[in-house]
């Protein structure tokens, strides 16, 4: 039985999502009861972390086995009980991935002394992080270094910064030891550096990767790693990543090319572009060129004018990745989303504008991959149906590896088209009791919600 509530959404958003997951085509295929059960499972699994932590290994810098052994050594050193066996498994179909099981939910007793953290911080703690001072919203009046405290997550964003306690809607995520006192958190001019609360009894135990082999391992959800492989970049090619920050997929693409060729990374938010550059530097990748640019305008009006940076003439790239801005409703763990229906449904027009630019920028014979981390039809299968109609010279391609489910019914796509799409659907597998299945099999099913479509421009 789960101790966490389902993800909390505005009622209008819940009803909208129900209409997506119980659409006519789905009801005709699986019936009302099964469709409703899947939908309820989705709401429940979104608030829980996946059953494994996935890291992408920098196999452009060292062999996978060497990275695995180094990681085992580093995690053992950082572990509170070094005798504990750390399980790190490789993935049979994704050759630069390492998986570590997550242990939880574990029985942990809640204490009376409590630190309250914000949504982002709470989600990070559920995935193995410690608490850093900027995430702390409230803490006991006399909290000092060494105090043992419980950590809870403010579900609705209602706790006042600097409060001593909070009685609102919150969820307990584990116990830890304060490494900083109250006055340093709230009275200093700048938030202090370092760990605020070191989690010693987390509800979900998985390693903290803070400072662990920063150039050799990169925390990345499994479907995001799959995207890089599906794009299939080759050494020497010129690739465009249109919505690239913080650069997880950009760096993966460059690594898959052995850093030979050019990866152009665009993002419209300036300080996020700095993150792309920092990640490229950390992973020793020279082939990445990052620019702050609105990708809707990435196609040059004057195709004769060649410039190094954006905008670019049409057909400038061998492959284009459009990892589109989206409603992010597949992210896990996500305990609440305060968005209105209007906000939730606001992305398709922007995604289509970006898609128009993507189609123009990819060469004839080139590959275009479209991906999102959301679960709606409007941002996924319906965008594919629109793209195939609007650009008749695009064809759907098989994906390798294909480890997620096929596309979801409801957008009028044929069975053959749906088979070519890859949708990661945690609701189809979550809470299956077969804990004896190999970790990689469980990891394939228990992911964030994610969608990938691969097109060829003919």
**Does 125 interact with ligand SAM (rule: CB under 6 A)?**
no
**Binds ligand SAM by CB under 6 A, chosen from 154, 267, 379, 427:** 267
Residue of 45, 121, 159, 373 with catalytic role = 373
The stretch among 117-125, 237-245, 281-289, 335-343 that binds ligand SAM (CB under 6 A) is 237-245
Angstrom distance (rounded) from CA 93 to CA 85: 25
Angstrom distance (rounded) from CA 416 to CA 96: 30
Q: What is the DSSP letter of 131?
A: B
Contact yes or no for 236/83 (Cβ under 8 A): no
The stretch among 177-185, 291-299, 308-316, 429-437 that binds ligand SAM (CB under 6 A) is 291-299
Q: Is 67 exposed, middle or buried (0-12, 13-18, 19+ CB in 10 A)?
A: buried
Angstrom distance (rounded) from CA 354 to CA 361: 11
**Does 375 interact with ligand SAM (rule: CB under 6 A)?**
no
Closest approach of Cβ 367 to ligand SAM, in Å?
16
Per the structure block, which two tokens stand in for 453?
A: 């479509």
**Does 266 interact with ligand SAM (rule: CB under 6 A)?**
yes
Cα 423 → chain centroid: 14
**Binds ligand SAM by CB under 6 A, chosen from 70, 272, 289, 352:** 272
Per the structure block, which two tokens stand in for 223?
A: 């479907």
User: Is 373 in the active site?
Assistant: yes
Give whichever of 172 and 293 is closer to ligand SAM, judged by the CB atom: 293
Give whichever of 292 and 388 is closer to ligand SAM, judged by the CB atom: 292
State which H helix or E strand residue 66 sits in.
Answer: helix 64-78
Give whichever of 295 and 334 is closer to ligand SAM, judged by the CB atom: 295
Cα 361 → chain centroid: 26
Alpha helices (H) in 147-219, listed in sequence order: 182-186
Other Cβ atoms less than 10 A from the Cβ of 331: the count is 19
The stretch among 139-147, 293-301, 307-315, 385-393 that binds ligand SAM (CB under 6 A) is 293-301
Angstrom distance (rounded) from CA 322 to CA 390: 17
The stretch among 171-179, 187-195, 289-297, 434-442 that binds ligand SAM (CB under 6 A) is 289-297
**Does 310 interact with ligand SAM (rule: CB under 6 A)?**
no
**Binds ligand SAM by CB under 6 A, chosen from 154, 237, 318, 323:** 323
Contact yes or no for 130/197 (Cβ under 8 A): yes
Beta bridge partner(s), residue 239: 263, 319
Give whichever of 108 and 448 is closer to ligand SAM, judged by the CB atom: 448
Residue in the structure block whose two tokens are 């702050």: 292
Residues 209-228 that bind ligand SAM (CB under 6 A): 224
Give whichever of 328 and 429 is closer to ligand SAM, judged by the CB atom: 328
Beta bridge partner(s), residue 202: 174
Give whichever of 88 and 290 is closer to ligand SAM, judged by the CB atom: 290
Give whichever of 247 and 404 is closer to ligand SAM, judged by the CB atom: 247
Closest approach of Cβ 241 to ligand SAM, in Å?
6
**Does 245 interact with ligand SAM (rule: CB under 6 A)?**
yes
- Entry field: residues in the chain: 458
Contact yes or no for 132/117 (Cβ under 8 A): no
Closest approach of Cβ 251 to ligand SAM, in Å?
8
**Does 449 interact with ligand SAM (rule: CB under 6 A)?**
no
Closest approach of Cβ 195 to ligand SAM, in Å?
25
State which H helix or E strand residue 18 sits in.
Answer: helix 11-21
Angstrom distance (rounded) from CA 62 to CA 56: 12
**Binds ligand SAM by CB under 6 A, chosen from 191, 192, 246, 401:** 246
Give the residues lining the site for ligand SAM (CB under 6 A): 224, 243-249, 266-269, 272, 294-296, 323, 325
Catalytic residue numbers?
A: 373
């Amino acid at each position: 039985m789960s101790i966490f509530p389902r993800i909390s959404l505005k009622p209008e958003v819940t009803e909208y999502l129900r209409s997506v997951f119980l659409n006519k085509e789905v009801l005709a295929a699986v019936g009302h009861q099964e469709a409703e059960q899947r939908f309820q499972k989705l709401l429940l699994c979104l608030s829980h972390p996946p059953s494994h932590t996935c890291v992408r290994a920098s196999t452009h810098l060292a062999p996978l086995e060497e990275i695995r052994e180094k990681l085992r050594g580093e995690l053992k050193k950082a572990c509170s009980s070094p005798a504990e066996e750390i399980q790190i498994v490789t993935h049979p179909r994704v050759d630069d991935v390492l998986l570590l099981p997550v242990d939880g939910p574990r029985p942990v007793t809640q204490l009376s002394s409590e630190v309250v953290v914000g949504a982002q911080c709470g989600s990070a703690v559920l995935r193995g992080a410690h608490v850093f001072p900027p995430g702390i919203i409230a803490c006991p009046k006399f909290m000092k270094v060494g105090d043992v405290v419980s950590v809870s997550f403010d579900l609705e964003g209602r706790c006042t910064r600097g409060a001593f306690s909070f009685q609102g809607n919150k969820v307990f995520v584990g116990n830890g030891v304060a490494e900083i006192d109250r006055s340093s958190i709230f009275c200093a001019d700048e938030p202090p550096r370092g760990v605020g609360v070191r989690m010693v009894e987390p509800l979900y135990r998985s390693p903290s990767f803070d400072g662990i082999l920063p150039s050799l391992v990169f925390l990345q959800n499994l479907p995001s790693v799959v995207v890089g492989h599906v794009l299939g970049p080759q050494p020497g090619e010129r690739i465009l990543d249109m919505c690239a920050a913080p650069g997880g997929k950009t760096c993966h693409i460059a690594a898959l090319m052995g850093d030979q060729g050019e990866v152009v990374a665009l993002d419209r938010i300036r300080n996020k572009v700095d993150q792309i550059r920092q990640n490229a530097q950390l992973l020793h990748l020279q082939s990445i060129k990052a620019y702050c640019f609105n990708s809707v305008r990435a196609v040059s009006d004057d195709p004769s004018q060649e410039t190094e940076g954006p905008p670019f003439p049409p057909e400038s790239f061998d492959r284009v990745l459009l990892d589109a801005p989206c409603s992010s409703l597949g992210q896990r763990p996500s305990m609440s989303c305060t968005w209105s229906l209007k906000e939730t449904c606001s992305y398709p027009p922007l995604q289509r504008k970006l898609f128009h630019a993507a189609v123009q920028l990819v060469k004839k014979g080139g590959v275009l991959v479209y991906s999102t981390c959301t679960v709606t039809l409007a941002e996924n299968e319906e965008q594919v149906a629109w793209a195939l109609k609007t650009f008749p010279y695009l064809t759907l391609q098989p994906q390798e590896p294909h480890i997620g489910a096929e596309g979801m019914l409801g957008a009028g796509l044929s069975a053959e088209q749906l088979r070519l799409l890859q949708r990661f659907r945690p609701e189809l597998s979550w809470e299956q009791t077969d804990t004896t299945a190999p970790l990689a099999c469980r990891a394939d099913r228990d992911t964030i919600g994610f969608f990938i479509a691969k097109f060829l421009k003919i």
